[in-house]
Amino acid sequence: MSETPVRTTATPSTEVTDRTVLTVEHVSKDFPIRGGLWSRGRGTVHAVDDVTFTLDKGETLGVVGESGSGKTTLGRVIVRAHEPTSGKVQIRDHNGRMVDVTAAGASELKDARRSFHMIFQDPYSSLNPRMTVEEIVGEPLVNNLGLKGAELRKRVVETLELVGLGAQHLSRYPNAFSGGQRQRIGIARSLACRPSLIVCDEAVSALDVSIQAQILNLLKDLQRDLDLSYLFITHDLAVVEHLAHRTAVMYVGQVVETGRTEDMFGRPRHPYTEALLSAAPVPEEHRTRPTIVLKGEVANPAAPPSGCYFHPRCPYAQDVCSREAPALREVAPGHFAACHFADVLQLAGPTAPPPSPPEAALIEQASSAAAVAPVDDDAAAQE
Ligand code: SF4
């Protein structure tokens, strides 16, 4: 097993302003691997590895990556469905206070839960089939706000109306609804306590494309009307482009690139992002670059490669990449990437014109420079 490389991070700022809704600071989550006769520990999976970002009121951050990138675990740590191994998550509560949900005790956490909610991928299994719509949407109002009787019903109906349903649906069970309607019920449940933050985990992936568009438009309308913040976890770059103001790309538990979505789609700075974008669905007549087929599989988070975790699959890898882990550093205003060659690679989205001058020459120059002074030394010096 290779040693886990230490990555020096010059991560995005976690400064809290009046509009900050969520801060995630150096969050990691490890899972022990158990096996054998006495279920002894056999290693550790680093599912989330030193992730830092913030999210503002009314903003959407898309979190993308292949299966196994750690994005779902990150979402679950944020809503404290998993305890983090290290790091801190703060969420603004209904009183306007930033609450450290990673350290909150049971009663503080229960109170803070009014302010955030998670929507899951599968609208079929995420709703209890034995509960009516009134019970499903009303449950958080009973548990978190203690509502009952006419007041409870009034709030449930108001919430259903926000998602295009109404009082006529109160007594029905989930199996009476289509996939899109079930996801509307799930969204209504998440909105019941009027949270400031919703974590959407592949919230439209199980739906047909036409229904996906309706749900995405609904989420956009709700964001505009209620000033909601979304952390939108997905493998689908088209969804991110449609919805997210900023995007974070994860690879083997780490954020390898983050910035404004239009900047990243216009000029990605990490080869993994470029490969993901090259596979995004665009009309063939607009495609100027072929899909980049990455060799090999996603690295094993229990035994990641040395240096840059992406180096065994990276078409631009140089010697330094297997030796030194690149820092996540700012390569343009508000745009961070963890690649030794982020400043010189002329990467592009699937519809951008081919780069000039040729990338190979630039990489060669960068490689000689890195041999003298590795790029992440700058970031290390700043820390
Ligand atoms: Fe590729 Fe090297 Fe950049 Fe990693 S550091 S993404 S291996 S070029």
pLDDT of residue 379: 33
142 shares a domain with 48: yes
pLDDT of residue 33: 85
CA distance 63 to 71: 7
183 shares a domain with 142: yes
- Centroid of ligand 1 to alpha carbon of 14 (angstroms): 26
The distance in angstroms from the start CA to the end CA of the chain is: 29
Helix 179-191 vs helix 149-162: crossing angle, to nearest 10: 130
pLDDT of residue 382: 33
Enter the tokens of residue 124.
């079929």
Q: Does some domain include residue 267? A: no
- The region, left, alpha or beta by phi > 0 then psi within -120 to 50, assigned to residue 201 is beta
Q: What angle do CA 75, 78, 83 make, to 5 degrees?
A: 105
286 shares a domain with 231: no
- Centroid of ligand 1 to alpha carbon of 364 (angstroms): 13
278 shares a domain with 235: no
219 shares a domain with 113: yes
Among the listed residues 59, 55, 144, 140, the one whose alpha carbon sits nearest the alpha carbon of residue 91: 55
215 shares a domain with 286: no
Give the chain's domain count. 2
Query: Of all atoms in ligand 1, which is nearest to the CA of residue 314?
Result: 1
Q: Does some domain include residue 266? A: no
Domain residues for the domain of 317 are 274-380
187 shares a domain with 302: no
The sheet that has 98-100: what strands, in order across it? 40-56, 20-35, 86-92, 98-100
pLDDT of residue 312: 96
- Centroid of ligand 1 to alpha carbon of 40 (angstroms): 36
Strand partners, 260: 246
244 shares a domain with 293: no
> Which residues lie with the beta carbon below 6 Å from any ligand 1 atom?
270-271, 308, 310-311, 314, 316-317, 321, 326, 339-341
200 shares a domain with 75: yes
DSSP designation for 70: S
Q: CATH number for the domain including 40?
A: 3.40.50.300
Q: Does some domain include residue 116? A: yes
285 shares a domain with 225: no
Please list the pLDDT of the chain residue by residue as tens digits (383 residues).
344 444 444 457 778 888 999 999 999 999 988 766 566 667 889 999 999 999 999 999 999 998 889 999 999 999 999 999 999 999 999 999 999 999 999 999 988 999 999 987 776 777 899 999 999 999 999 999 999 999 999 999 999 999 999 999 999 999 999 989 999 999 999 999 999 999 999 888 878 888 889 999 999 999 999 999 999 999 888 889 889 999 999 999 999 999 999 999 889 999 999 999 988 776 666 666 778 888 888 888 899 999 999 999 999 999 999 999 999 999 999 999 999 999 999 898 766 665 554 454 445 554 444 443 333 333 333 32
Q: Does some domain include residue 13? A: no
279 shares a domain with 246: no
83 shares a domain with 127: yes
